[in-house]
């Protein structure tokens, strides 16, 4: 009868839960009753290559580099994946033992983290140990709830965590699972589930939300029991839930508490109706910290804050007010887009600040994660890093978000230079035009690969000849500081026809226009598109003299090239023209060098900066300013939303990209900053340099 009663109770609880999760409007949040320590708020996750058989990152992400960068960033809490199956195994006698070599490598990494200032280390697990000899259809299978095998599975978890806590006595937190409520059986499923089968085929082997939360509660209890038996100070963190569906998320957290309060957990062996382990309705017997993953991919909103409020409200509604919280995953993906990197740098810190101001019982927020993972099968998973991957062209480049976090947690005077230690020199490819580009308006063009390639530009009453060029954007690198369009003006050392007219003092200019229409190498006077202000935009003009002959002509096209690539366009097209003039400009791809005609080396091209990107440019700007001004500028307060006091009159303010955003004279040493966006700024006066945060 008890079992039937328990099932009926769960059905009733599920009905109540569904009604309670449809809205984020709840009773007012209560005051915090547990002591909260925020001294280790800055958390980070990364999975370096600790062991050769554990590959969760790109090559080059070593324990030494991860620990060192944690120190340079000022990270105080670290989330480290350590699946139980990575460090434990059964011997031939069926006895659970340590994988000693792997254990030592994890302990060495723990020591490196502590040497670099990390105070709290959290071990998180996604692969449990199962009873010896148990064979299952898929690696995330959990035995039938309530069965003898299920109880053995839970006892195996208790033993596993006892052994882990014993060998890692200084580890503070144990996150005993991850996203156990994920859909489609990703992290929990029933026996019979087959990897690679269709959703329809696996549907019968999925747990309900209530079953997922019961398993999570049982796992927490047994893990906590094992940890506390050898380390009373060890703390269990609830498995961070999957947050794809708000209603299901809240139902999961509701039933998680309701299972605990039901009086039927932990699940255990019954001997003649007597429980082997007394039931517990006390959440602290199961866990120390609540945990969730409130990802958001833009600026925070009130709805997002209310959603987080509503999750904590569930704890309050179950008489667990004051329960402390860890946010074990929080981050943004940028999809390799420069504009996304800038957005993330602007919105990340305000979101963390708003959330931790709202929920005073949050002790740490763990950024997911340190490095991009270019080998991940998911594009979004690839670009969550606050640093580029070692496999990317710039190496371990700190993204703007890394600088924002550095200043937020360490103050406006923090020095970012050391974050660039592992960034490597970079060579961006030059880009030649496609054969679809110009060639001579008025006659069908020849292919660019032929030696006869040339272009004539003239614009006079009754006669015009434009040049047209198309460049593919595939190899445009967002990290390039500058992208130049270059073309070679034929002169005396270039095969005829070349520019023979005297152009000194002529006022002649070459104009480069980015066009939105297409063309191909059949272009003639009769079928060309008429230029208008709506189908093209002037990129720039270059004054020409005789000194330009037999030389490259160059113009900056960085902004338009990156913009078109960001919009998903595959190419950028230019129209070249000159002002009204009787002079003819000749562009060729051959020239005479020491009596030898060089062919093919002078095609028009896009040349990308070959060293560094925007973030290093910012660092260089600030470094050059630092070299000019050695005095310390007094800035007070260093965090403000309205005005700051500084010693100086002539004031320049730069953002973290090195861009000048404010240039003015002030009186009474007071600078109004209310008009600036939230972020980190460098201020320069005749007295020196300083930094402040607008918040």
Domain ranges of the chain: 2-392, 454-608, 618-694
pLDDT at position 614, please?
A: 39
Cα 501 to Cα 452, 507, 512, 551: the distances in Å are: 21, 13, 21, 16
Helix or strand holding residue 587 (H, E): strand 585-588
- Please give the model's pTM, rounded to 2 decimal places: 0.67
Give me the phi and psi of 14, to 5 degrees please. -65, -40
pLDDT at position 600, please?
A: 57
SS3 310: helix
Domain 454-608 sits in CATH at 2.60.120
CATH architecture for residues 2-392: Alpha-Beta Barrel (3.20)
Under the banding of pLDDT at 50, 70 and 90, the label for residue 229 is very high
CA angle in degrees (0–180, nearest 5) for 602-607-612: 150
- Residue 355 makes CB contacts below 8 A (sequence gap 6+) with 294, 300, 305, 308, 327, 362, 365
Under the banding of pLDDT at 50, 70 and 90, the label for residue 272 is confident
pLDDT at position 303, please?
A: 95
Under the banding of pLDDT at 50, 70 and 90, the label for residue 178 is very high
Q: Do domains 454-608 and 618-694 have the same CATH topology?
A: no
Alpha carbon 79 to chain centroid, angstroms = 16
- Indicate whether 635 pLDDT > 50: yes
Residues 34-61 pLDDT 10s = 688 999 999 999 999 898 777 777 888 9
pLDDT, average across residues 436-458 = 54
CB 262 within 8 A of CB 199: no
Distance from C-alpha of 320 to C-alpha of 288, rounded to nearest angstrom:
11
Considering only residues 646 and 3, tell me which one the structure prediction assigns the higher pLDDT. Answer: 646
Q: Where are the alpha helices (DSSP H) in 191-299?
A: 199-202, 209-230, 246-261
CATH architecture for residues 618-694: Sandwich (2.60)
> Which of 408-412, 564-568, 655-659 bottoms out in mean pLDDT, i.e. has the lowest?
655-659
Percent of the chain whose predicted confidence (pLDDT) is above 90: 49
Residue 676, classified by CB atoms within 10 Å of its CB into exposed (0-12), middle (13-18) or buried (19+), is: middle
- Identify which of 223-237, 267-281, 390-404, 490-504 has the greatest average pLDDT: 223-237
- Identify which of 65-69, 606-610, 639-643 has the greatest average pLDDT: 65-69
């Amino acid at each position: 009868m008890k079992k039937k009663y328990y099932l009926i109770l769960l059905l009733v609880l599920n009905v109540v839960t569904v009604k309670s999760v449809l809205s984020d409007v709840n009773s007012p949040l209560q005051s915090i009753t547990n002591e909260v320590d925020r001294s280790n708020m800055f958390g980070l996750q990364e999975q370096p290559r600790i062991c050769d058989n554990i590959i969760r990152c790109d090559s080059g992400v070593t324990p030494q580099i991860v620990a060192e960068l944690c120190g340079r960033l000022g990270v105080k809490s670290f989330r480290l994946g350590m699946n139980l199956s990575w460090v434990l195994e059964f011997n031939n006698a069926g006895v659970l033992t340590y994988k000693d070599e792997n254990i030592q490598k994890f302990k060495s990494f723990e020591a490196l983290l502590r040497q670099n200032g990390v105070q709290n280390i959290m071990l998180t697990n996604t692969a449990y140990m199962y009873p010896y000899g148990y064979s299952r259809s898929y690696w995330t299978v959990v035995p039938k709830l309530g069965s003898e095998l299920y109880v053995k599975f839970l006892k195996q978890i208790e033993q596993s965590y006892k052994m882990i806590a014993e060998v890692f006595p200084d580890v503070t937190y144990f996150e005993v699972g991850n996203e156990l409520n994920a859909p489609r059986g990703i992290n929990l499923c029933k026996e019979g589930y087959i990897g690679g089968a269709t959703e329809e085929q696996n549907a019968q082997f999925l747990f309900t939300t209530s079953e997922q939360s019961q398993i999570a509660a049982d796992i927490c209890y047994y893990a906590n029991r094992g940890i506390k038996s050898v380390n009373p100070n060890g703390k269990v963190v609830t498995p961070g839930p999957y947050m794809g569906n708000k209603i299901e998320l809240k139902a999961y957290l509701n039933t998680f508490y309701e299972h605990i309060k039901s009086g039927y957990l932990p699940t255990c062996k019954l001997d003649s109706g007597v429980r082997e382990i007394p039931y517990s309705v006390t959440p602290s017997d199961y866990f120390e910290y609540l945990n969730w993953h409130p990802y958001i991919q833009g600026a925070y909103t009130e709805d997002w804050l209310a959603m987080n409020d509503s999750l904590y409200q569930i704890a309050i509604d179950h008489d667990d007010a004051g329960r402390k919280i860890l946010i074990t995953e929080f981050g943004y993906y940028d999809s390799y887009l420069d504009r996304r990197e800038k957005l993330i740098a602007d919105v990340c810190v305000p979101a963390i600040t708003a959330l931790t101001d709202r929920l005073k019982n949050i002790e740490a927020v763990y950024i997911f994660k340190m490095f991009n993972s270019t080998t991940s099968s998911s594009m979004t998973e690839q670009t969550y890093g606050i640093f580029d991957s070692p496999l990317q062209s710039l190496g371990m480049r700190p993204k703007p978000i890394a600088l924002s976090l550095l200043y937020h947690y360490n103050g406006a005077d923090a020095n970012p230079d050391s974050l660039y230690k592992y960034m490597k020199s970079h060579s961006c490819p030059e880009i030649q035009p496609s054969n679809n580009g110009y060639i001579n308006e008025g006659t069908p063009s020849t292919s660019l690969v032929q030696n006869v390639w040339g272009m004539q530009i003239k614009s006079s009453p009754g006669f015009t000849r434009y040049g047209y060029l198309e460049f593919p954007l595939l190899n445009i690198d967002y990290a390039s500081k500058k992208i130049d369009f270059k073309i070679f003006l034929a002169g005396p050392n270039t095969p005829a026809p070349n520019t023979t007219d005297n152009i000194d003092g002529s006022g002649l200019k070459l104009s480069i226009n980015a066009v939105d229409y297409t063309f191909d190498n059949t272009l003639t006077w009769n079928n060309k598109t008429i230029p208008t202000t709506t189908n093209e935009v002037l990129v720039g003009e270059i004054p020409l003299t005789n000194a330009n002959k037999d030389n490259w002509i160059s113009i900056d096209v960085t902004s338009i090239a990156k913009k078109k690539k960001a919009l998903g366009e595959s190419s950028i097209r230019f129209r070249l023209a000159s002002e009204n003039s009787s002079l003819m400009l000749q562009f060729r791809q051959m020239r005479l060098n020491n009596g030898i005609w060089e062919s093919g080396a002078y095609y028009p091209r896009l040349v990308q900066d070959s060293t560094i990107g925007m973030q290093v440019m910012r660092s260089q700007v600030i470094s050059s300013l630092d070299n000019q001004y050695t005095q310390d500028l007094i800035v007070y307060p260093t965090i403000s939303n309205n005005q700051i006091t500084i010693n100086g009159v002539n004031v320049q303010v730069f953002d973290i990209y090195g861009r000048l955003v404010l240039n003015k004279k002030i009186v009474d040493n007071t600078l109004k900053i209310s008009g600036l966006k939230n972020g980190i700024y460098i201020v320069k006066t005749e007295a020196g340099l300083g930094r402040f945060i607008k918040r």
